[in-house]
Amino acid sequence: MAKASEKLAELVGRMPEPDGKGMYCADIDKDKIEGAIAEIHKGGRENILGVIDMLVEPGKGDDVKAHYALHCLGLHVCNINDRRGRRRFGATLASQLGGDRPKGVQAYLIQELQSFGGRETVEKLKALAGNKALAQPVAMALEAIRGGG
Amino acid sequence: MAEGKRVTRRGFIKGSLGAAAAFTIVPRHVLGGAGNTAPSEKFGAALIGCGGRGNGTFGGLGPNVEKLAICDVKFLKKADNKTIYSDFRRLLERKDIDMVAIATPPHWHALISIAAMEAGKDVLCEKPMTRFIAEGRAIVNAAKRYKRIFQVGTYGRFGASKDKNKILTHKIMASGLLKNCKAVHRKRGGLKVQQWSGIVNAQPHPIPDSLDWDMYCGPSPLRPYHPHRFGGSHRGYWDYEGGGLTDMGQHHYDPVQWEFAKDYTSPVEIEAYAPPAHPEACAMWGWVELKYADGLTFTFESNEWGKPYDRKEDRGVSLSDLSEADQRKIKDMPDPKPLVSFPEAVRTRKEPGGHAEAAHHSATLMHLANMAIRTGRKLRYDPVKEQIIGNEEANRLVNIPMRAPWHL
């Protein structure tokens, strides 16, 4: 387990460093990013959860690489047309909602479901519709998933 | 009344309602009369969005305007709701304002344009016209429904429409005689990719007292405040715009779209070369190729990242692409009518040169390009349904859900 976490941390570490302005404008290596993401994808649900564990509430630390890596994973499962992988990605993100993860992290997971989530995530999202901190991103995600957006 | 025509009660009421409806859609400045300005006098105008492009956009309204009010979400503390507003909805209630210039960040363009036209105002809206494709269609529909003048704030097409060579290209393309178009128009550089990128490690900052941050975010997600998300550098975030590509793309391609007579359609295949996109911040990309159904190809080339585009060379269209009989048809075609400026359109109620439908299609070019960059996939687009074919994730970017209570 520890070995897997080290490996995952190394793969996430291959995501680009922000440049001097905090932007992704220097040393952006497409092949390096996509190679690392493909490796992370092979680790399945465990790796998705591992990346989510690296996310932090905005203002509470540095999660730039994990934040980007999670989005790249969503892009990857869609781009390789891996339907099972995509459902697993959505279901894994949805499974982390409603618990004690920071609200800022949950809001980011919901945002990712707005992009990549399928119908398997709808019930979990609906359950959060009354949550004051998350209701707005939940409504937007549901609209996108149901085809309104 | 025409002889032999009887007026029934129902017909009278119907006619009266029609006249009343017609009366309400004719602006007071056209009617003149007591308390109203006549056409030769000034129009009441307002500026919504008083940042870097505010005065420039307002200037496009023309010479005969009086600036009666300004509005910006940064005026929270000094708004008096007489000449200074922080909520555009209050400003649009005023009956003495005939037209508005909108120079907010683009995530507000559609909602404010539609609300302004519904309130009977003509609209000059800064480019890019919209943040996503469905907003453009909604503006087009609103302009028709409320019979208002809408012009986007980019004017290159007015010059293009007076250029002899571009008029010839326009006539060849508009004729429909060229069945297999081999033309390629490449836009190399000048798209400010690095300049209008977003910060990926932004940490929350305190919201300035003078700023209504919730209203600024509006239909976009409510994020923690960071100064880089505001005041010009907003261009680097998908929430508000689409990077340098959307900032500069409509300037470049709006006149090219006119030249190639594509104001009423869009490309059908879009392919990008770019690293995986960041979820919030616009960043680097290499090039995007957009192909129309007839074969015409446009490119966006950043010249700021990756391998250069090397698929096709620039190529125009010429009479020699046609048979001799078809060449004669082109020579016999009248030149297109001169484009109507915004001030002239307001006065005459003619369609302006950069009307909503044309502007929607030139904005769609950038949106499609950014969607290919953001999804990392080759996209197929149906220009009639205005939908991506067979790609659910990309389609979610055609009509991005808005944050309640805002909606199209």
The pLDDT value recorded for residue B357 is 98
Instruction: List, in order, residues 6 or more apart from A125 with CB less than 8 Å away.
Output: A94, A97, A110, A113, A117, A138, A141, A142, A145
The pLDDT value recorded for residue A28 is 97
- B335 and B251 in a single domain? The answer is yes
Quickly count: other Cβ atoms within 10 Å of residue B381's Cβ.
26
Domain ranges of chain A: 6-109
User: Does B199 reach chain A within 8 Å, measured CB to CB?
Assistant: yes
The pLDDT value recorded for residue B39 is 54
User: Does B221 reach chain A within 8 Å, measured CB to CB?
Assistant: yes
- B295 and B310 in a single domain? The answer is yes
* pLDDT class of A144 with cuts at 50, 70, 90: very high
State the smallest CA–CA distance between residue B224 and chain A in angstroms.
Answer: 8
Residue B349 sits at φ, ψ, to 5 deg, of 65, 25
Residue B3 lies in a domain: no
- B112 and B39 in a single domain? The answer is yes
Strands B99-102 and B43-48, by their bridges, are parallel
Interchain pair B283, A137: CB under 8 A: no
Report the complex ipTM.
0.97
Q: Give chain A positions within 8 Å (CB) of B390.
A: none
> For chain B, which ranges sit under pLDDT 70?
1-41
Q: How buried is B371 (Cβ within 10 angstroms: 0-12 exposed, 13-18 middle, 19+ buried)?
A: buried
State the smallest CA–CA distance between residue B292 and chain A in angstroms.
Answer: 24
- B126 and B52 in a single domain? The answer is yes
| d(C-alpha A81, C-alpha B313), whole Å | 33
- B121 and B208 in a single domain? The answer is no
Domain count, chain B: 2
| d(C-alpha A60, C-alpha B225), whole Å | 15
Helical H segments across chain A, by residue range: 2-12, 30-42, 44-53, 64-79, 83-95, 103-116, 122-126, 135-145
Residue B45, classed as helix, strand or coil, is strand
CA dihedral in degrees (B71, B76, B82, B87; nearest 10)?
50
- B220 and B239 in a single domain? The answer is yes
Residue B299 lies in a domain: yes
Among the three residues B105, B132, B157, which one is the final residue of a domain in this structure? B157
* pLDDT class of A136 with cuts at 50, 70, 90: very high
Q: Which of B272, B211, B228, B231 is nearest to B78 (CA)?
A: B211
* pLDDT class of A3 with cuts at 50, 70, 90: low
Interaxial angle between packed helices A83-95 and A44-53, expressed in degrees from 0 to 180 and rounded to the nearest 10:
40
- B42 and B71 in a single domain? The answer is yes
At B221-255, the pLDDT tens digits run 999 999 999 999 999 999 999 999 999 999 999 99
* Domain membership of residue B268 as a residue range: 160-395
At A98-124, the pLDDT tens digits run 999 999 999 999 999 999 999 999 999
Residue B150, classed as helix, strand or coil, is strand
Residue B51 lies in a domain: yes
The pLDDT value recorded for residue B16 is 39
Name the strand (E) or helix (H) holding B254.
helix B243-259
* pLDDT class of A4 with cuts at 50, 70, 90: low
The pLDDT value recorded for residue A147 is 78
Among the three residues B157, B186, B210, which one is the final residue of a domain in this structure? B157
Interchain pair A148, B400: CB under 8 A: no
- The residue with greater pLDDT, B13 or A60, is A60
Quickly count: other Cβ atoms within 10 Å of residue B251's Cβ.
17
Instruction: Name the closest residue on chain A to residue B205, using Cα atoms.
Output: A59
- B351: alpha, beta or left? (left if phi > 0; alpha if psi -120 to 50): beta
The pLDDT value recorded for residue B50 is 97
User: Does B339 reach chain A within 8 Å, measured CB to CB?
Assistant: no
Interchain pair A22, B221: CB under 8 A: no
The pLDDT value recorded for residue B6 is 40
- Single pTM value for the model: 0.92
The pLDDT value recorded for residue A126 is 97
| d(C-alpha B72, C-alpha B358), whole Å | 28
State the smallest CA–CA distance between residue B203 and chain A in angstroms.
Answer: 5
At A11-32, the pLDDT tens digits run 999 999 999 999 999 999 999 9
Residue B407 lies in a domain: no
| d(C-alpha B18, C-alpha B13), whole Å | 9
What would the mean pLDDT of A130-142 be, rounded to a whole number?
97
* pLDDT class of A148 with cuts at 50, 70, 90: low
- B291 and B391 in a single domain? The answer is yes
Most A CBs within 10 A among B201, B237, B388, B407, hence the mutation to make, goes to: B201
Residue B367's identity, in one-letter code, is H
- B239 and B140 in a single domain? The answer is no
Percent of chain A with pLDDT over 90: 91
